Amino acid sequence: MINSNNDDNNRFEIIYHFEYDDVNFRCDLNDIAWWKRPNLLATRYGVILPKFRSKIFFEHNNNHINSQILNIRQLKSNDSGIYECETLGAIRQFNLIVLVRLTTVEFGAQLISSYDSTNDHLSNQTDHNLLHQSLRSNNGSIYLREHQLIRLTCVVSRALPAAILHFPFHIDYHIERNSTIENDDKTYRTILVLILRINRYFHKRTFHCEATQSRIYNNNNNNENQQEQYRILSNILQMDVAYSPICSRKISFVPEYSTGIYRPINLTCHMNNGNPTKINFTWHLPNGNIYLGHYLNKTSNYITIIPNYNTDFGQITCRAQNELGLFGDCHFNMVLGGIPDPIESCHYTYINSTLTVNCMAGFHQGDEDFFCYMYKRQHNGSYSEHARLKGNCAFILPDLKPEYHHDFRVFTKNKFGDNFDRSYSIQVGKSRVESFADKTGISWPYMALFIIGACLTSLILICCTCHKLRKTTNYKRKTESNFENLTYRNHNSHHSENSPNGKTSLEHSKTINLSQSSLIN
């Protein structure tokens, strides 16, 4: 309670109470003319309010002279105002402020544009219509598509003092409306309307509104008023967003891939998953043809293209589309550019040590600033540049002695590379005797290594064969020796005598051994 004026003849108090509370006003004025009874009035800003007479009653307090109590039950929001009791020459005023608690915050979403729509949204709708047309949620989830435009509406129907609404998320949105309206019962309605464009990053995210209200209440301990911030949250909406696959390439420019006419090129398309995740690939070529390509995995696809005409070059689109028809594109720019085609034909003459060459170069494959080269074979078998012309292949080479063999290779080269491996061969002069290395295509260093390796292999085979023969001979000798010993033992067994108990006579064995030893001596 705040006493703003404590004069005995003019008292003013501010009292805070919540809706549906009971309040008591005590009027204890010092009436000098005590014989006049106080005239107690229920007024708001000096205007008598007869409707309060049905809610109030008076109590006489015998402990105080001329003291009465005004009781008001079940306060309503429109009971706020100034209440007075007065006598002749004195007045007491009570400023009653009824507080309406912030209890609920309504939160709804309304679809205001279809997928990828660029139409302007309507904004001249009431908050009742906005909530009535809200998207229906399934267990708190609303189903949306990427790029759709929705309107989020937060409403506090009744609060006193007025509530403050805000959207506590750091995302891009547009505030269409933020207003406070007084209701018929003197409370306030607060409305916050946001415009939000859906993107893939909202999938499975939850959103809500937040309302705050400043409350002032009486502290009975020290007869002072205290203020607090009261905060409540709205219902929660979870967004289930369907979105298209997206090209996994991070660069903003379209990459270029160079190839030539009749030259195959492989293009690979990598996509990030969409929702739903199952995607189908199609390739859209500059000439209007559409192909399916080949899967590397669920999110990657490739195609092999062989351009046949200049019209086959240009921008190629890889399109990945999911079950809902949402699609994303990866773009490629296929340009004409490659190693020039080899020499198509050559006409040459060799007269009086002068070689005249006129060759027809192949297609330049996109780079008309090509060079035509003539390489000559050296004594060590390598080729080095002998002549060069830009844009044509007409050479005149003098001083080529006919007693020597001259071997040339004609080819073309541009910024993408050369076709030396498919060069045109021109050989003039004395016929060259081909060596074994020329016939076999093996150079002398490799030939020497081959011969040394063959000799070492032969030596190892000879050593292995000799070892095997020696081992076989030793085994054969040992076998014959064992056989002779076995034959001699069998011969001696015919002359052995057995004793009556079945054992060989030791005396006879000794006699034989003695006779053998005498023969040896």
Integer Cα distance of 384 and 394 in angstroms:
18
Q: What are 296-312's pLDDT values in tens digits?
A: 999 999 999 999 999 99
Contacts with 503 (C-beta within 8 Å, 6 or more apart), sequence order: none
Note whether 3 and 83 are within 8 A (CB): no
Retrieve residue 228's tokens: 């607090």
pLDDT of 247 above 80: yes
Retrieve residue 114's tokens: 């279809």
pLDDT of 8 above 50: yes
Retrieve residue 299's tokens: 């999110």
Any idea of the CA torsion for 448, 451, 457, 459, to the nearest 10 degrees?
-110
Note whether 293 and 303 are within 8 A (CB): yes
- What is the reported pLDDT for 503? 43
- Taking alpha carbons only, the member of 405, 387, 389 closest to residue 397 is 387
Sheet hosting strand 174-182, strand order edge to edge: 106-111, 149-159, 188-197, 174-182
Band of residue 248 on the pLDDT scale cut at 50, 70, 90: very high
Q: What are 79-92's pLDDT values in tens digits?
A: 888 887 776 667 77
Query: To 5 degrees, how large is the angle CA 462–CA 468–CA 469?
Result: 90
Integer Cα distance of 345 and 322 in angstroms:
53
SS3 77: helix
Q: What are 96-110's pLDDT values in tens digits?
A: 889 999 999 999 999
Residue % of the chain over a pLDDT of 90 = 49
- Taking alpha carbons only, the member of 383, 387, 384 closest to residue 374 is 387
- What is the reported pLDDT for 34? 36
Retrieve residue 520's tokens: 């040896």
Compute CA 226 distance to the chain's CA centroid, rounded to the nearest angstrom: 52
Dihedral sign for Cα 475, 478, 484, 490, please.
negative
- What is the reported pLDDT for 71? 77
Note whether 336 and 260 are within 8 A (CB): yes
Residue corresponding to tokens 């899967």: 295
How does DSSP classify residue 184?
T
Q: How far is CA 448 from CA 205, 442, 444, 453, in A?
A: 75, 10, 6, 8
| Whole-angstrom Cα Rg for the chain | 56
- What is the reported pLDDT for 521? 35
Q: Domains plus CATH for the chain?
A: 2-99 (2.60.40.10), 106-242 (2.60.40.10), 246-336 (2.60.40.10), 345-432 (2.60.40.10)
Note whether 366 and 339 are within 8 A (CB): no
Could you tell me the pTM of the whole model? 0.61
Note whether 13 and 23 are within 8 A (CB): no
Contacts with 63 (C-beta within 8 Å, 6 or more apart), sequence order: none
- Amino acid letter at 507? E
Ramachandran angles phi, psi of 262, nearest 5°: 70, 15
Alpha-helix runs per DSSP H in 364-429: none
Integer Cα distance of 25 and 84 in angstroms:
9
- Taking alpha carbons only, the member of 55, 50, 82, 93 closest to residue 71 is 55
Q: How far is CA 265 from CA 260, 288, 334, 339, 353, in A?
A: 9, 18, 9, 13, 46
Residue 232: CB atoms within 10 A of its CB come to 16
Residue 5: CB atoms within 10 A of its CB come to 11
- What is the reported pLDDT for 219? 61
Band of residue 439 on the pLDDT scale cut at 50, 70, 90: low
| Beta-strand runs (E) in 369-457 | 371-377, 383-390, 393-397, 405-414, 417-418, 424-429
pLDDT of 520 above 80: no
Structure-model confidence comparison of residues 402 and 448, the more confident one = 402
Integer Cα distance of 39 and 243 in angstroms:
74
How does DSSP classify residue 30?
-
Integer Cα distance of 310 and 290 in angstroms:
18
Choose the weakest-confidence range: 22-26, 337-341, 444-448: 444-448
- What is the reported pLDDT for 486? 58
Integer Cα distance of 320 and 246 in angstroms:
8
Which uninterrupted H or E stretch holds 474? Answer: helix 444-493
